[in-house]
Structure 1
Amino acid sequence: MNKEELKLRTKQFALRTIKLVRSLPKDVPGKVLPNQLMRSATSVGANYRSACRGRSKAEWRAKLGISLEEVDESAFSLELIMEDGMLPLQRVEPLWKEADELCAIFYTALESARRPS
């Protein structure tokens, strides 16, 4: 997967999250989790784009690390939504799987960058 494909994939993750958040209940947990999830899910792509424009390898790693943290936080919020039963599992699980895959991609990229050349 190249840089442009990953930019698109992270944007699609944010857009899919927006759609999911719109369908959450409006009770107390349904008000708190959407805010956290929206912030973290939209931050994934924003920080990845920023990483792609990094001025140094250190800056690239730092921004990619933030993307990893944010997608992991998104996955955690999605797990809470699934385990609480706020939405049907089949509605949330595909997005959670995408978060998990993005975590793996960012983690692998960071590990590769840490290895000596």
Structure 2
Amino acid sequence: MLQRKENIIQTKTEAFSARIVNMYRYLVEVKHEHIIANQILRSGTSIGANTAESRNAQSKIDFIHKLSIALKEADETEYWLKMLNSGHYITDRQLQSMMNDNEEIIRILTKIIKTSKSSLVP
């Protein structure tokens, strides 16, 4: 079996997606919230899906594009987390924990995108 080198952004986005899925279940089953739960499930798991897709990008520009979509989804996820907190569906502590992970992912994606753009031939 082919073993890939550890990819920190992939590892972090997969772990974050798992947290989002668990949060979705909590929101639906315990808080009976469906609308924002569906939104955060879509955006929060899309971060990892687009990051995974970037591994098989057809070009450097395609790679940057896929990671840029992941970055946009991370920004949207931040918005939904704040809405869940302001609607009292998640506590300040839950918000901060999820925001810390999401902000770390945003920092890593931003760095990868900037580095990749700087290596493009003008």
TM normalised by structure 2 equals 0.84
2:8 is the alignment partner of 1:5:
yes
Deviation at 1:116, TM superposition (A): 5.0
Query: Could you say what secondary structure the match of 2:7 adopts?
Result: helix
Deviation at 1:5, TM superposition (A): 2.5
Deviation at 1:113, TM superposition (A): 1.9
Alignment correspondent of 1:97:
100
CA distance in 1, matches of 2:72, 2:50: 10
2:46 is the alignment partner of 1:43:
yes
CA distance in 2, matches of 1:49, 1:97: 21
For structure 2, which runs of at least 5 residues remain unmatched after alignment?
none
Alignment correspondent of 2:21:
18
Q: State the identity as a percent.
A: 23
Alignment size in residue pairs: 113
The structure where helix makes up a greater share of residues is 1
CA distance in 2, matches of 1:96, 1:65: 19
Q: Any idea what the Cα deviations from partners look like across 1:8-51, whole Å, max 9, x if unmatched? A: 2101100001111222221xxx2111111011111111110111
Give the number of the structure whose alpha-carbon radius of gyration is greater.
2
Note if contact 1:44-1:70 (Cα within 8 Å) is conserved in structure 2. Answer: yes
CA distance in 1, matches of 2:44, 2:65: 18
TM normalised by structure 1 equals 0.87
Go from structure 1 to structure 2 and tell me whether the alpha carbon gap of 1:3 and 1:65 turns closer, same or farther (over 3 Å shift): farther
Moved over 3 A (4+): none
For structure 1, which runs of at least 5 residues remain unmatched after alignment?
none
Note if contact 1:13-1:41 (Cα within 8 Å) is conserved in structure 2. Answer: yes
